[in-house]
């Protein structure tokens, strides 16, 4: 129903008996059914509710911007398309599927072949037939040109997730019997036209169609309308919300829809208000700062720039580690949302671990953000990665938000709904709404923290892509750690940014170490054709740091240096021979008076080798490890322990080791963890990552002039190892080369050479933050760096890198959607030759990352008596619990096993090893665990360790401990 008008007439009033006989839904179990007219009415009513109460103004504006009467036209168009979307079910190709309902239609003259006789019916899916009917009706009834009808028809054709291709349309044209049965084609046509006429009358668009005839609907608008129709269809297809006939036959359209909407109870649209007051007041009201903390210049300037921009657009914030970029991004996001009409926020992080760390921070912020709704209610939130259910903060919201709505977890489908069990009613201010937890619907939640993959999937040809576009087009997007992605992923990110720019989605990009060329690429991708070469050149040439770059929708691009906060660290850098003896001797010397050292290795194998040596030297209690080869529960405990012992002074003072302690870690120590060490030893790595690692060195002030640190360690010192420094140029260890490749490593060594040798203007000292940007720009620029004797080797490495990046860019194009095309160009074949469904699984992530497929397993133990148990050593009395194999484990026990997920290392990504490993792991198949009630364990591969926590897999010996994680050696 349109707003501010009398209730629209009942859809069925005046329909012929033939039109009433056409069916849309059938339940095989109950033999209940739903006529097409009723599903049309339901879908249109739901679309109206979605527009009025759930879709953000930001999305509405994109849909309406090219329509003659703006938002009112946008609403009418959306409701009309949702109402008509299943018109293709009024065809023999669809109607023949249920014999009893087909017979009822035959009895009134709508003849059709038997289902088994219709050998070509798959060439006429009802979405495609509906598109053909809509186009034909617009041409014959409303004098549209055939070309102009396609931009509207494609929305009908794509409502099952894949817009048709030109070859699909031709195949249907060649089989007209799929649309109308020969011999009674006139009656079929009469019914189809009657239903479409009725849709136009009920939706009150009859007089609009003539005006819409000249409209050129943008591709972003087409995508959003397709997504909206899909959501309306999925809700209207839920029999728990919209019961089937005969039980619901006499219910009024409006009453039926109101009851369903109330039962669904979707959190209504967030309406942010632009925060007033000074930046200091804004931050004080939104975030918890330690007593005496002052607003950093980059935080203050970000708020001021967000307010001064002509309209929200792209903001790239480059600032040192620990400068509060996240808080700045959230403050800017609130301003952008209020000004753009966004209805939520998505925060993209590099990894699941960084996403887990961000989620509670977002929740804390949300609790302080006001709302303009007359009666502010619930806000839907989501942690979007494959292991979100194991996150305690998110799991608590899920438990609190469970509701008595069945069948709503599924993401649509073939029409066969499988209702879930009833759940007790509850509510929460921040809710993980049940309907918004499906793998395709989840991103529709208002506030989402997830991995970068969830954003990159927006650029991937995949089924129901329009839903992801609808989800992201209504939000502000924050991209953290923007430097962390390779050429392959950046290709996807740039394509996504171009679409976000076309949707006018505000975007905030964060990085401490962003190369200038990459800064330009981000600005150019977002601005699209609105950018000009002079502005882009200025973006690349600006050298200030910290730096905030803004891109406005009108194409104005402005890089603005920001004053430094005054936080400064001088780090003394030295080379260290890549020799465990040399490392041990140096650490013994430096830690003689106590202190905490962080040793970062580029590979897990080096982590474990180093830790074993240092334990012999310092004792087991003085050495711990952190890397990615722990099961999820142990990994979470490791992160928590690191924060407790080495976090900010106010959190770690009571737990920080007093004697010497060494943490040997992989690259997991680079990002997001707010940890602070007295001494850093690092393998040679790309300079931006080395600077990130330095961000864990003297990160916080501990006493005046660091007086609370051991005397020897009051000067920040970074020792760089992991290379043979005696060769020209230095030769990185093999593991580092495999991960980072020679070009980035040699460029890093070259820009660090004067610091490591002490020949630079400041001797061995690198000044943070002053030297961050110069080091990064030199390392990633095109200029010559390093001594003359290095240049031949560096040139060869550069050539190899160029070939690699060219290959990555080419590969990334394989399944990438096209750039945004001109208005009126239909989304014909938009996801043709795509990947099917895009899921946050190991295979799904590989679609947007240039990585080999890896294996993930759940790890359990087999005792000597043959009984399976959870892993020993798990904290919280979770270890050593017996597991039944003749039944589904209780949910709590199943969750513990699911929490023992582990991604097997690189050795198992080699194709022949991968295949052998899968074959061996499948021998651990437990039939009882595959039950539909086994939410945590069904479909998972199980790795079974013996009583000593060892096993052999695909020619490798594996050993797991809660202290060191997974150790892998080739079997003898």
The pLDDT value recorded for residue 1 is: 38
What one-character DSSP code corresponds to residue 763? B
Phi and psi at 677, nearest 5°, equal -125, 160
Contacts of 427 (CB under 8 A, 6+ apart): 378, 400, 401, 403
pLDDT at 411 over 80: no
Q: How confident is the model at residue 431 (pLDDT cuts 50, 70, 90)?
A: low
d(CA 824, CA 831): 18
Contact 125, 164 (CB under 8 A): no
471-494: average pLDDT: 94
Q: How many residues does the chain have?
A: 972
445-449: average pLDDT: 93
Burial of 589 (0-12, 13-18, 19+ CB in 10 A): exposed
3-state secondary structure of 259: helix
Domains in the chain: boundaries: 23-261, 279-376+442-561, 569-768+784-801, 852-970
pLDDT at 966 over 80: yes
Pick the closest to residue 297 from 462, 109, 544 (CA basis): 544
pLDDT at 420 over 50: no
Sign of torsion over alpha carbons 639, 642, 645, 650 = negative
3-state secondary structure of 289: coil
**Which pairing describes strands 314-318 and 507-511: parallel, antiparallel, or unpaired?**
parallel
Contact 770, 564 (CB under 8 A): yes
d(CA 124, CA 883): 50
Contact 483, 513 (CB under 8 A): yes
| Pair of tokens at residue 234 | 């999925």
The pLDDT value recorded for residue 934 is: 84
CATH dotted code for 279-376+442-561 = 3.40.50.300
Torsion of the alpha carbons at 255, 257, 258 and 261, rounded to the nearest 10 = 160
Range list of β-strands (E), 516-603: 547-551, 557-561, 569-575, 596-600
Q: How confident is the model at residue 73 (pLDDT cuts 50, 70, 90)?
A: very high
d(CA 877, CA 891): 16
Contacts of 903 (CB under 8 A, 6+ apart): 628, 629, 842, 854, 855, 856
d(CA 192, CA 198): 10
The helix (run of H) or strand (run of E) holding residue 691 is helix 687-694
What would the pLDDT profile of 622-667 be if each residue is shown by its tens digit? 999 999 999 999 999 999 999 999 998 888 778 899 889 999 999 9
d(CA 251, CA 242): 10
The pLDDT value recorded for residue 423 is: 27
d(CA 794, CA 436): 51
774-790: average pLDDT: 94
pLDDT at 685 over 80: yes
Phi and psi at 712, nearest 5°, equal -65, -20
Sign of torsion over alpha carbons 844, 601, 616, 592 = negative
What would the pLDDT profile of 193-205 be if each residue is shown by its tens digit? 999 999 999 999 9
Q: How confident is the model at residue 5 (pLDDT cuts 50, 70, 90)?
A: very low
Question: What is the residue-averaged pLDDT of the chain?
Answer: 90
CATH superfamily of 569-768+784-801: P-loop containing nucleotide triphosphate hydrolases (3.40.50.300)
Give counts: helices (H), strands (E), the chain: 34, 27
Pick the closest to residue 681 from 786, 577, 567 (CA basis): 577
d(CA 557, CA 536): 7
pLDDT at 451 over 80: yes
Q: How confident is the model at residue 429 (pLDDT cuts 50, 70, 90)?
A: low
The pLDDT value recorded for residue 409 is: 36
Separation in Å, CA 931 to CA 90, 148, 934? 38, 50, 5
pLDDT at 378 over 60: yes
Own/partner long-range contacts of 234-237 (Cβ < 8 Å, ≥24 apart): 234/411, 234/412, 234/441, 235/46, 235/260, 235/264, 235/435, 236/39, 236/42, 236/43, 236/45, 236/46, 236/260, 237/25, 237/39, 237/412, 237/415, 237/417
CATH dotted code for 23-261 = 1.10.3210.30
Separation in Å, CA 299 to CA 426, 522, 651, 655, 701? 38, 21, 23, 31, 20
Range list of β-strands (E), 218-356: 314-318, 345-349
The helix (run of H) or strand (run of E) holding residue 765 is strand 765-768
| Pair of tokens at residue 768 | 């943070």
d(CA 127, CA 129): 5
The helix (run of H) or strand (run of E) holding residue 74 is helix 70-84
pLDDT at 37 over 50: yes
Phi and psi at 35, nearest 5°, equal -70, 155
pTM attached to this predicted model:
0.91
d(CA 87, CA 150): 16
pLDDT at 412 over 50: no
What would the pLDDT profile of 698-711 be if each residue is shown by its tens digit? 998 899 999 999 99
The pLDDT value recorded for residue 543 is: 84
Asked if the domains 23-261 and 569-768+784-801 are classified in one and the same CATH topology, the answer is no
The pLDDT value recorded for residue 846 is: 65
pLDDT at 782 over 60: yes
The pLDDT value recorded for residue 401 is: 66
pLDDT at 839 over 70: no
What would the pLDDT profile of 330-361 be if each residue is shown by its tens digit? 999 999 999 999 999 999 999 888 898 899 99
d(CA 350, CA 264): 33
pLDDT at 396 over 70: yes
The pLDDT value recorded for residue 6 is: 42
Residue of 436 and 83 predicted with greater confidence = 83
pLDDT at 428 over 50: no
Task: Determine the Cα angle at 725 with ends 724 and 729, to 5°.
Answer: 95
- Range in 367-371, 424-428, 547-551, 612-616 the model is least confident about: 424-428
Helix ranges (H only) for 323-391 are 325-340, 352-366
Task: Determine the Cα angle at 803 with ends 802 and 809, to 5°.
Answer: 90
Contact 779, 688 (CB under 8 A): yes
pLDDT at 123 over 80: yes
* Residue 781, phi-psi category: left (phi > 0), alpha (psi -120 to 50), beta (remainder): beta
d(CA 127, CA 85): 8
Contact 253, 11 (CB under 8 A): yes
Residue with token string 């009706």: 137
Q: From edge to edge, which strands make up the β-sheet containing 430-431?
A: 430-431, 379-384, 447-451, 345-349, 476-479, 507-511, 314-318, 547-551, 557-561
Q: How confident is the model at residue 842 (pLDDT cuts 50, 70, 90)?
A: low
Residue of 13 and 60 predicted with greater confidence = 60
Q: From edge to edge, which strands make up the β-sheet containing 661-665?
A: 623-626, 661-665, 596-600, 679-683, 716-721, 569-575, 765-768
What would the pLDDT profile of 262-271 be if each residue is shown by its tens digit? 999 888 888 8
Residue of 414 and 326 predicted with greater confidence = 326
């Amino acid at each position: 129903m349109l707003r501010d008008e009398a209730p629209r007439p009942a859809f069925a009033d005046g329909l012929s008996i033939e039109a009433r006989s056409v069916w849309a839904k059938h339940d095989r179990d109950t033999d209940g059914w739903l006529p097409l007219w009723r599903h049309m009415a339901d879908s249109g009513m739901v679309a109206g509710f979605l527009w009025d109460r759930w879709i953000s103004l930001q999305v509405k504006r994109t849909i309406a911007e090219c329509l003659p009467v703006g938002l009112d036209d946008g609403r009418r168009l959306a409701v009309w398309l949702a109402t008509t979307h299943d018109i293709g079910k009024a065809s023999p190709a669809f109607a023949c599927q249920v014999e009893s309902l087909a017979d009822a239609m035959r009895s009134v003259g709508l003849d059709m072949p038997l289902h088994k006789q219709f050998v070509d019916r798959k060439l006429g899916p009802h979405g495609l037939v509906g598109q053909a009917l809509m186009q034909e009706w617009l041409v014959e009834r409303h004098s549209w040109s055939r070309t102009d009808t396609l931009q509207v028809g494609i929305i009908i054709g794509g409502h099952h997730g894949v817009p048709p291709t030109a070859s699909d349309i031709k195949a249907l044209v060649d089989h007209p019997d799929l649309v109308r049965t020969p011999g009674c084609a006139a009656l079929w046509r009469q019914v189809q036209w009657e239903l479409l006429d009725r849709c136009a009358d009920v939706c009150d668009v009859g007089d609009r169609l003539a005006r819409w005839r000249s409209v050129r609907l943008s591709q972003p608008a087409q995508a959003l309308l397709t997504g909206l129709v899909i959501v309306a269809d999925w809700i209207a297809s839920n029999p728990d919300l919209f019961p089937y006939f005969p039980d619901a036959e006499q219910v009024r359209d409006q009453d039926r829809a109101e009851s369903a909407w109330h039962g669904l109870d979707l959190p209504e649209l967030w309406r942010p208000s632009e925060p007033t007051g000074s930046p200091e007041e804004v931050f004080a009201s939104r975030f918890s700062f330690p007593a005496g903390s002052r607003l950093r210049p980059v935080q203050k300037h970000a708020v001021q720039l967000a307010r001064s921009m002509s309209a929200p657009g792209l903001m790239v914030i480059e600032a040192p580690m620990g400068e509060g970029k996240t808080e700045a991004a959230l403050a800017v996001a609130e301003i952008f949302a209020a000004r753009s009409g966004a209805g939520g926020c998505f925060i993209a992080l590099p990894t699941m671990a960084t996403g887990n760390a961000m989620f509670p921070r977002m929740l804390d912020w949300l609790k302080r953000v006001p709302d303009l709704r007359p009666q502010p209610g619930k806000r839907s939130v989501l942690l979007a990665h494959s292991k979100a259910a194991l996150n305690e903060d998110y799991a608590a919201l899920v438990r609190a938000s469970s509701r008595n709505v069945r069948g709503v977890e599924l993401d649509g489908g073939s029409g066969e709904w499988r209702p879930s069990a009833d759940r007790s009613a509850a509510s929460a201010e921040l809710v993980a709404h049940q309907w918004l937890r499906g793998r395709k619907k989840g991103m529709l939640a208002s506030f989402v923290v997830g991995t970068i993959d969830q954003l990159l999937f927006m650029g991937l040809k995949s089924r129901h892509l329009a839903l992801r576009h609808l989800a992201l087009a209504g939000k502000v997007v924050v991209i953290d750690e923007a430097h962390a992605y390779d050429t392959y992923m950046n290709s996807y990110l740039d394509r996504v940014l171009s679409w976000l720019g076309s949707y006018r989605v505000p975007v905030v990009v964060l990085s401490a170490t962003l190369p200038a060329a990459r800064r330009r690429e981000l600005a150019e991708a977002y601005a699209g054709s609105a950018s000009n070469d002079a502005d882009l050149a200025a973006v690349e040439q600006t050298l200030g740091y910290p730096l905030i770059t803004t891109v406005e929708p009108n194409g104005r691009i402005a890089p603005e240096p920001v004053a430094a906060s005054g936080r400064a660290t001088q780090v003394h850098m030295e080379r260290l021979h890549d020799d465990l003896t040399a490392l041990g001797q140096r650490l013994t010397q430096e830690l003689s008076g106590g202190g905490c050292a962080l040793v970062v290795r580029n590979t897990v194998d080096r982590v474990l080798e180093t830790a074993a040596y240092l334990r012999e030297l310092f004792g087991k209690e003085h050495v711990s490890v952190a890397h990615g080869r722990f099961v999820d529960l142990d990994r979470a405990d490791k992160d928590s322990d690191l924060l407790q012992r080495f976090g900010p002074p106010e959190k770690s003072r009571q737990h920080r080791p007093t004697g010497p302690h060494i943490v040997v870690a992989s690259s997991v120590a680079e990002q997001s963890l707010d940890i602070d060490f007295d001494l850093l030893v690092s393998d040679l790595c790309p300079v931006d990552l080395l600077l990130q690692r330095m961000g864990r060195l003297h990160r916080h002030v501990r006493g005046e002039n660091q007086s609370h640190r051991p005397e020897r360690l009051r000067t920040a010192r970074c020792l760089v190892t992991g290379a043979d420094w005696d060769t020209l140029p230095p030769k990185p260890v093999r593991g580092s080369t495999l991960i980072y490749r020679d070009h980035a490593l040699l460029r890093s060594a070259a820009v660090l050479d004067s610091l490591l040798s002490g020949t630079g203007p400041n001797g061995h000292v690198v000044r943070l933050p002053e030297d961050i940007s110069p080091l990064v720009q030199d390392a990633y620029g095109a200029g010559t760096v390093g001594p003359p004797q290095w240049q031949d080797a560096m040139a060869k490495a550069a050539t190899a890198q160029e070939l690699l990046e060219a290959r990555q860019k080419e590969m990334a194009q394989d399944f990438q959607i096209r750039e945004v095309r001109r208005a009126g160009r239909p989304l014909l074949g938009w996801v043709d030759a795509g990947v099917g469904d895009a899921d946050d699984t190991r295979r799904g992530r590989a679609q947007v990352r240039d990585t080999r497929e890896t294996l993930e397993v759940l790890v359990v133990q087999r005792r000597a008596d043959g009984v399976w148990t959870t892993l020993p050593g798990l904290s919280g009395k979770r270890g050593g619990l017996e597991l039944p194999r003749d039944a589904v484990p209780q949910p709590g026990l199943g969750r513990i096993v699911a929490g023992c997920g582990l991604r097997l290392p690189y050795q198992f990504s080699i194709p022949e090893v991968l295949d052998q490993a899968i074959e061996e792991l499948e021998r651990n198949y437990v039939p009882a665990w595959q039950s539909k009630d086994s939410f945590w364990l069904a479909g998972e591969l199980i790795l079974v360790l013996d009583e000593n926590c060892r096993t052999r897999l695909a020619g490798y010996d594996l050993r797991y401990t809660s202290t060191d994680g997974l150790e892998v050696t080739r079997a003898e």
